[in-house]
Amino acid sequence: MSCSACATRIEKSLQSAHGVYEAAVNFGNSVAAVSFDPEKTDRGKLVKIIEKAGYSTIDDDPETIARAEAEEALRMRRDLILAVLFTVPLFIIAMADMFAGIPWLSDERALLAVLELILCIPVIYAGRRFYIRGFPALLAGIPSMDSLVALGTAASFLYALWNTAIVLFGGSAGGLTYESAAMIITLVSVGKYLEARSKIKTDSAVRALMRLQPETATVIRDGVEKEVPISEVVEGDRLSIKPGDRIPADGIIVSGTSSVNESMLTGESMPTPKSEGDNIFAGTVNGTGGFIMEAVKTGKDTVLYQIISMIETAQGTKAPVARIADRVAGIFVPLVIVIAVAACVVWLISGRTLEFALTVLISVLVISCPCALGLATPLAITVGTGMAADRGILFKNASALERAADIDTVILDKTGTITVGSPEVTGTAYRSDRDRLIALAAAAESGSEHPIASAVVSYAKKEGIDIPGHIDFASVTGGGVRSTVDGEVVTVGNSKLMEDIGCDVSEYDGDAVSFAAQAMTYFYVAKGNEPLGVIAVSDPVRPESGFAVSRMKINGAQVIMVTGDNKATADAVAKEVGIDNVISGATPGDKLEVVKDLQTEGRYVAVAGDGINDAPALAQSDLGLAVRNGTDIAMDSADVVMMTDDIRCIPASIELGKATIKNVKQNLFLALIYNMIAIPIAAGVLYLFDIGNVSMMPMISAAAMSASSLLVVANALRLRRYAPESLSSA
């Protein structure tokens, strides 16, 4: 399918079939969902209906679909190269004739006409898909961009062919318009090719999620550990989970303790302590401890597969965006044809010659050739997406840029979007020597791969503090770490661990309360059983987040923070950046429901996130934005990928969308005003007052058509001077 009108055409064909209850065709992921009575029809008959409508089908296999889309993109690339190779010399020759830059061509009209015809035919062939799809859509009453291109280029080509025939037989004819047909086909083909390329990775988010589940699991049967394929794990199996393992199923810990990285579910970078009786989920990653779990849900019953299902559903039910030019074409194209035919008939009835009437008909089609209308949207979109790319904002398709202009609600994830996404040391409290406190803590934590340990070690290095060596490293699951540093046992951990080693940390109670109020995670450092101080870490807010939020509000968008983090942390971060509406403790399903509820209220919702947990909401939203450091799955599910960490790109995306669509509307206005003035003239209004020469009208029409296209091009290029205010200052 080349546009949303294709989906509409297939839907109508399927819905009219005997035995079909309902048919929904999604242009975004090329899927047709059909409900039918198997006693009245079957899959084979439905496939034939689709093929009769001019399309082909492929089996519902992600790899097969990916290959088919890649092959289609390759075919479009070959056609584009062919069009460019012949359009460039054709344009040069046509301009040489117009400006008499090559006198012998201007003098040899017959040779010029034949030469332009020979160069134009390969371009028409390269754009054959526009005719194959455009004219059937027009006849079906659902004209699309393909219809505009097909009608306009056909009118230009046939008019030029008419004049070529006249010249070859020694007559005097108007101008040639082969280059107009060729230029439109080439320019529109560029956009079609880029759109085809963007669809190749449509299903990559789902495939990446599927890869999160391990291929094998260690099952305990008859007291013996045995490695089996994941497909053989059943409900009730006891599984042995070792440090670093990816959890193979949803279940409950039967014995043992550890910490589990659940960022794929919560989006939070901090591992979650787990002990006997706690729930764990497939696809999450075990930390340094080992434990035995009982499988409760396996395969497609796991939370991981529920997330996959949510993404597929969101992508499948997202309504295709109707392009502005397609909507205009639905009225404009049939109207032009009616006017052209009516003008021809009226002049015949009035007693004019057939030649006169046909010349008027061709003049109307040429002067109203929707070249300017066809260029209005793709040129502005091309400029807009190019400007965005220069600023590190990648729109996956033109529809995303269009939707950005309508956004009135922005949902932001906290971790990795508003905040940096990794813990940093943000506070200390100590008795006497801060550097010694940091040095001993960093030395003790050097043997750990925990994010908090990395934060402490990185902080020590950043501050230029020497980190002494350590021996006898031991991890206390759910408590902290212990090491021997310079002959002394150094313990780093929570209050329970301090209590276990007989260390009284009550003198730091006030500091602990203060750190907690600021949504920081804190831990104590002790040498032997002597408390040395407290170190606090937190995921710091990005410096530009506050400004970005203020710009979103200025652009008329309500800003909501939806996060899986706890209420205290979420409220503290929201207050710092100026967000009033906060939803904390949200699961992936909760985030998805928030988006759906807002859309039900008639809002256009943008979602910005960086984690797997954000993927369902990103897919459901009207505009999904993924930050650079996010997961591949989040980026694949999003409509926009920000290639920098600067979240000012979020309001900048909205501003670019508004500016681009404003330019599109200006272009459409210019194109339509031109046609409102030009069509009556071409239809012969001036001839009623004996003004003008009918034999010159097609040539004048061609010149006017070119002028209208140049006007639209100039206005679209003017968009290059636009600079989003969100990125101009901070």
Average pLDDT score over residue span 330-337: 70
Give the pLDDT confidence of 66-118 residue by residue, as tens digits.
677 778 888 889 999 999 999 889 888 877 655 545 555 556 778 888 898 99
Alpha-carbon distance values, 582 to 67, 414, 520, 595, 612 (Å): 43, 10, 18, 14, 20
Helix (H, G, I), strand (E, B) or coil at 496: helix
Residue 313 has pLDDT above 70, yes or no: no
DSSP code at position 621: S
pLDDT for res 371 = 56
CA 22, CA 182: separation in Å to the nearest integer?
A: 41
pLDDT for res 255 = 92
The class of domain 424-538 in CATH terms is: alpha beta
Average pLDDT score over residue span 505-514: 89
- Closest by alpha carbon to 407, among 546, 553, 514, 309? 553
Alpha carbon dihedral 504, 507, 513, 515, in 10-degree steps, equals: -90
CA 112-114-116 angle, 5° bins: 70
CA 235, CA 132: separation in Å to the nearest integer?
A: 54
Please list the active-site residues: 413
The class of domain 214-301 in CATH terms is: mainly beta
State the pTM of this model: 0.57
CA 399, CA 404: separation in Å to the nearest integer?
A: 9
Radius of gyration of the chain (CA): 33
Residue 611 has pLDDT above 90, yes or no: no
Average pLDDT, the chain: 80
Helix (H, G, I), strand (E, B) or coil at 274: strand
Residue with tokens 């230009």: 156
pLDDT for res 28 = 55
pLDDT for res 317 = 38
- Going by pLDDT thresholds of 50, 70 and 90, the confidence category of residue 628 is low
CA 484, CA 490: separation in Å to the nearest integer?
A: 6
Give the pLDDT confidence of 338-387 residue by residue, as tens digits.
888 898 899 989 988 766 777 677 677 666 655 566 566 666 777 777 77
Provide CB contacts within 8 A for 56, sequence distance 6+: 50
pLDDT for res 60 = 57
Tokens of 488: 């002394």
Are the beta carbons of 18 and 49 closer than 8 angstroms? no
Provide CB contacts within 8 A for 577, sequence distance 6+: 418, 541, 545, 546, 549
pLDDT for res 202 = 41
CA 416, CA 393: separation in Å to the nearest integer?
A: 17
Domain 397-419+542-643, CATH 3.40.50.1000 — does that match?
yes
Phi, psi of 255 (to 5 degrees): -155, 150
Q: What is the torsional sign of CA 450, 456, 462, 465?
A: negative
Q: At what angle do helices 4-15 and 128-139 cross, to 10 degrees?
A: 50
Give the pLDDT confidence of 150-190 residue by residue, as tens digits.
776 787 788 788 888 888 887 766 567 787 778 777 877 77
Share of the chain above pLDDT 70, in %: 78
Residue 299 has pLDDT above 50, yes or no: yes
Question: Which CATH number among 3.40.50.720, 3.30.465.10, 3.40.190.10, 3.30.70.100 corresponds to the domain 4-57?
Answer: 3.30.70.100
pLDDT for res 249 = 92
Q: Residue 232 half-sphere exposure, CB side, CA atoms within 13 Å?
A: 12
Average pLDDT score over residue span 473-496: 86
Give the pLDDT confidence of 23-62 residue by residue, as tens digits.
877 665 677 778 899 999 998 999 999 988 878 887 655 5
- Ordered by start, the domain boundaries in the chain are 4-57, 214-301, 319-392+655-730, 397-419+542-643, 424-538
